[in-house]
Chain A
Amino acid sequence: MSDSSDIRKKTGPIPRKPTAAEQEWERNTLVPSLGKSPERQKEFTTTSSYPIRRLYTDADLTEWDAARDLSFPGEVPYTRGIHPTMYRTRLWTMRQFAGFGTAEDTNQRFRYLLAHGQTGLSTAFDLPTLMGYDSDHPLSEGEVGKCGVAISSLADMEVLFDQIPLADVTTSMTINSPAAVIWAMYLAVAEKQGADWKKISGTLQNDILKEYIAQKEYIYPPEPSMRLVIDTFEFGMKHTPKFNVISISGYHIREAGSTAIQELAFTLRDGMEYVEWALKRGLPVDEFAPQLSFFFNAHNDFFEEIAKYRAARRIWYKAMAERYKAANPRSWALRFHTQTAGCSLTAQQPTNNVVRTAIQALAGVLGGTQSLHTNSLDEAWALPTEFAATVALRTQQIIAHETGVTNTVDPLGGSYFVEALTNEVEQAAWEYVRRIDAMGGMVAAIEKSYPQREIAEASYKYQMAVDKKEKIIVGVNEYVTPEKPIEILQIDETVAERQRTRLAKLRGERSAAEVERRLNALRKAAGGGENLMPYIYDAVKVYATLGEVCEAMRAVFGAYEEVAVT
């Protein structure tokens, strides 16, 4: 038996004792009705196979205390949201993840999105960039500009943000293992534009733990990787107080096949791990914690997702206030970005994905998200076309302006079902946290492949349920119709050629001696204990490439190889 069902048994639906009135309803109304028209299934479960009861009543909330567990928006434990007025004052940031081809191509898409009412940028990098390789590295062949934009040096970064004022626009960058290097390039562009580092804002994903757990874009072993992350915390604390130096991400954990509870638990335990490493470094909790942010998935199961976001805020508050003794309310409040579930999109009947995405986005909004990305209908096939990306952005605008869900704060607060599910999800997540604590923390758990195994187990079970049609996916295993291929965005190999030419020119024009001198200084510092951010910044400023900087550190740190679990 897998641990996940074990956890459910231990913490799952809290035993309930119906009131006399409810028992009477069961006798007089329910039982006769079931006799005539039985229910469609024996058991009803969420997308994550979590059991859901027929009806939730006050009997499900006997342990629940509205003053303690629900409270008010903007007040602890933040169940109802981190701001007192939520979307009545300010809508969430509509932040569509974009990036493909060269820096010029993506710069154009960024400017298009901003012109159409998008309120923040979010950068997708290609696989070579994510792995710390330049576009002209042999392993980059076939991958340049495919899954995102190719950025090999500060020269590319300058083009990427050309005519986009970094003083005004907040930018999120989905980059992890080479996060410190890409961030240094971004800061260099900001400096060139004359933007004040103290005022610029944005988010660096920089979450290496979930890479070992789920997405697997790692370069170095955990220890030096964690050092780099804490280096960025320390640097950000001092120089960029408004920048989110990390986006602790459950998104990829969920995409790898986890349940909602696993996503919640592993993400928050990752967050605790970063806090513990920063405390070990001697950073004061209330100075770095306000710059930590989170990132969750929005999958199909509407209420399970909403419960997950509400529970996340409660858990983080308790962890920060009680476990780490943070005193600043800004350290307690969990701020998060949401992206609708890429893994829920179907290649079949892609128009249906607009509907899936809208419902998932609505869950994110009812869960109190601070920013949102809605996937495009064609993303089971490729990066989105401009048409598909526009529909995705419009979906958010419709939720914001036409549905009325932004008129009041936490509209689902007090619902028997939502509150009971929030409690259950929270308890199950704490049980995972306790297990990981007992293993010696998240790095130790990763080295034992614990979260990896839990996710693989859940993902296999899900696939089997779909294959057996226990779970219906419209257009895939039911309601299947013949269809024609859709038009998709193609990235051709000229992107790689253009990148190679640009890199060759760059390598010819920059001062080779200066680059070498600064890379040597970085190598030396990597061997010691200093904060590496200033060294990385110095190197990228003279156009040392991403690959060169990452390689300099690889020479000292070594490379990570996982034990593959199947």
Chain B
Amino acid sequence: MVEKKIRVLIAKPGLDGHDRGAKVIARALRDAGMEVIYTGLRQTPEMIASAAAQEDVDVIGLSILSGAHNTLCPQLMKLLREKGMEDVTVLVGGIIPEADVAALKQAGIAGIFLPGTSTQEIVEFIQGRASA
């Protein structure tokens, strides 16, 4: 039997256009055998939640470098709950001050990856969640 590929939505919420990290992660996950959909720039939490539903993804990876994470992440988590998508793993990568980490985890973000994280670490985290 062919194992089902893990489906990941990589999204850039907010106004920021710095997409280097999002693109590197998208490619690294694809090279690790996952099915990756990249939303492109300037996605509102609504757009991300509906794309995630439409694409039936297992994981959403948000790339945020602008400092808007405290606004954007809880909004997305609320929308996912409303859609009954609590089983989707949501990860955030980017510039997240350590002081904000606990609150984001509380809001339901499963993994927070700070600058300097290797792509392998993120691949393994996602694979670990999928097999759990």
Contacts and interface: CB of A to CB of B under 8 A. Distances in A.
A280 B17 CA distance: 30
Interface string B55-80: 00000000000111011100000000
Contacts of A348: 116
B99 A131 contact: no
A343 B24 CA distance: 14
Most buried by A among B18, B38, B41, B95: B18
Contacts of B35: none
B97 A381 contact: yes
B98 interface: yes
B112 to A, nearest CB: 12
Contact of A216 (B18, B24, B95): B18
A566 B26 contact: yes
Nearest to B96: A381
Interface string A451-480: 000001001100110110000010011000
B13 to A, nearest CB: 9
A147 interface: yes
Given A128-B15, A381-B97, A146 B66 contact: yes
B24 A460 contact: yes
Interface in A176-230: 211, 215-218
B103 interface: no
Interface residues of B, number: 38
Interface string A336-348: 0000000100111
A211 B19 CA distance: 12
B14 A143 contact: yes
Most buried by B among A142, A211, A459, A562: A142
Contacts of A421: none
B45 to A, nearest CB: 10
Interface size class of A (residues with CB under 8 A): 35 or more
Contact of B67 (A217, A382, A473, A476): A382
Given A127-B15, A142-B71, A467-B118, A488 B38 contact: no
A141 B118 contact: no
B128 interface: no
Contacts of A542: none
B20 A257 contact: yes
A12 B121 CA distance: 35
Contact of A139 (B15, B98, B119): B15
Contacts of B72: 142
A466 B120 CA distance: 11
Contacts of A255: 18, 20
B51 interface: no
Contacts of B114: 347
The 8 closest A-B pairs by CB, nearest first: A216-B17, A142-B71, A142-B68, A146-B67, A564-B40, A127-B15, A485-B98, A347-B115
16 contacts: A127-B66, A128-B15, A143-B15, A143-B68, A146-B66, A256-B20, A257-B20, A459-B20, A463-B28, A463-B119, A464-B119, A467-B118, A490-B99, A564-B40, A564-B41, A566-B26
Interface of A: 127-128, 130-131, 133, 139-143, 146-147, 211, 215-218, 255-257, 343, 346-348, 380-382, 456, 459-460, 463-464, 466-467, 473, 476-477, 485, 488, 490-491, 561-562, 564-566
Given A143-B71, A216-B19, 12 more contacts: A127-B66, A146-B67, A147-B66, A381-B95, A382-B95, A464-B119, A466-B118, A491-B67, A564-B19, A564-B40, A566-B10, A566-B23
